[in-house]
């Protein structure tokens, strides 16, 4: 009887693997994972290991969470920890797992007339930009980067909407960096997209390594109890692969402009 039971479990496992192989998983994620080239590096490895194809919708984290709330994605890979925890607590996500981290960097003209390099921390750097009257370009798109930027402005005690030089692009990190390069403006970027960005002109990293600029990423399978049509098993295999040693090593080995820009931090 025990032998027959083990055989049944083996057959069910093989059937489940066959059902998942050839599936297409829809992942809503941030523009930083797409524009940095990380997905182009990771997804072929995941597909080879599992047979599951992945289609990515790259938007701001706020939009990615909205896609998940509607059940229009099977899994999320995003970077706004507080919003991710709320998403799970509201029942839209099955769970959240740490995957990796990097940091945000303050970008601006090399001449740095606002004095960002000399500021005590990231918040005081934004105060210096506000005092200078120089332009600052914001994504303005409810992304994880935009949310982090707004937290920094709040910590600085400055309402950016009152600044004449403050402009919102309403778009991803790449177009926002292009506008900053064209206008000689300051901006906040994730590290990965900056190092993959080629049109830098006179821009440079002026501030990095500040604890206020820490940027964690999490993976969340969308909850089948809320949306019965989602591909629960494939989404969980995606989350498991990203947080297992093979996926973590793949993340660690990715480079943008020769730099490691994502650092694995899945909990064992």
Summarised one tens digit per residue, pLDDT across range 7-32 is 443 333 444 444 455 689 999 999 88
Q: What is the pLDDT of residue 260?
A: 95
**Ranges of the chain with pLDDT below 50:** 1-19
Pick the last residue of a domain from 186, 213, 240: 213
Token pair recorded at residue 40: 């182009």
Quick one: 244 and 259 in the same domain? yes
- Tokens 């999320």 — which residue? 76
Quick one: 246 and 113 in the same domain? no
Spatial separation of the C-alpha atoms in residues 119 and 125, rounded to whole Å: 5
Number of residues in the chain: 268
Bridge partners, 56 (sequence order): 27
Quick one: 177 and 137 in the same domain? yes
Flag whether 2 is in a domain.
no
Quick one: 47 and 130 in the same domain? no
Q: What is the pLDDT of residue 81?
A: 94
Instruction: Give the count of domains, the chain.
Output: 2
Pick the last residue of a domain from 171, 186, 213: 213
Q: What is the pLDDT of residue 20?
A: 52
Quick one: 38 and 164 in the same domain? no
Q: What is the pLDDT of residue 251?
A: 98
pTM of this structure: 0.84
Q: What is the pLDDT of residue 21?
A: 56
Q: What is the pLDDT of residue 234?
A: 97
Q: What is the pLDDT of residue 4?
A: 47
Determine contact, residues 71/94, Cβ cutoff 8 Å: no
Q: What is the pLDDT of residue 14?
A: 40
Quick one: 94 and 223 in the same domain? yes
Q: Give whole-number Cα distances, 54 to 44, 61, 76, 81, 117, in Å.
A: 9, 18, 12, 23, 41
Range of the domain at 246: 20-101+215-264
Flag whether 12 is in a domain.
no
């Amino acid at each position: 009887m025990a032998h027959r039971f083990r055989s049944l479990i083996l057959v069910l496992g093989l059937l489940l693997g066959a059902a998942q192989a050839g599936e297409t998983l829809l992942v809503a994620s941030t523009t930083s994972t797409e524009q940095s080239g990380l997905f182009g590096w990771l997804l072929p490895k995941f597909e080879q290991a599992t047979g599951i194809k992945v289609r990515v919708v790259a938007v701001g984290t706020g939009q990615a969470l909205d896609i998940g709330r509607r059940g229009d994605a099977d899994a999320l890979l995003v970077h706004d920890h507080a919003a991710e925890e709320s998403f799970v607590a509201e029942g839209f996500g099955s769970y959240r797992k740490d995957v990796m981290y990097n940091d945000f960097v303050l970008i601006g003209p090399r001449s740095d007339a606002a004095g960002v390099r000399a500021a005590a921390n990231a918040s005081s750097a934004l105060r210096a930009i506000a005092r200078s009257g120089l332009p600052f370009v914001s994504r303005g798109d409810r992304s994880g980067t935009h949310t982090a930027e707004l937290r920094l402005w709040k910590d600085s005690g400055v309402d950016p909407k009152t600044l004449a030089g403050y402009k919102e692009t309403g778009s991803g990190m790449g177009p926002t960096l292009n506008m900053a390069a064209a206008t000689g403006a300051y901006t906040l970027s994730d590290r990965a997209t900056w190092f993959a960005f080629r049109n830098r002109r006179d821009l440079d990293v002026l501030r990095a390594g500040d604890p206020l600029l820490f940027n964690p990423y999490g993976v969340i399978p969308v909850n089948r109890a809320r949306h019965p049509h989602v591909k629960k098993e494939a989404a969980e295999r995606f989350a498991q692969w990203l947080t297992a040693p093979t996926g973590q090593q793949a993340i660690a080995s990715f480079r943008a402009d020769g730099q490691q820009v994502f650092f694995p931090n899945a909990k064992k």
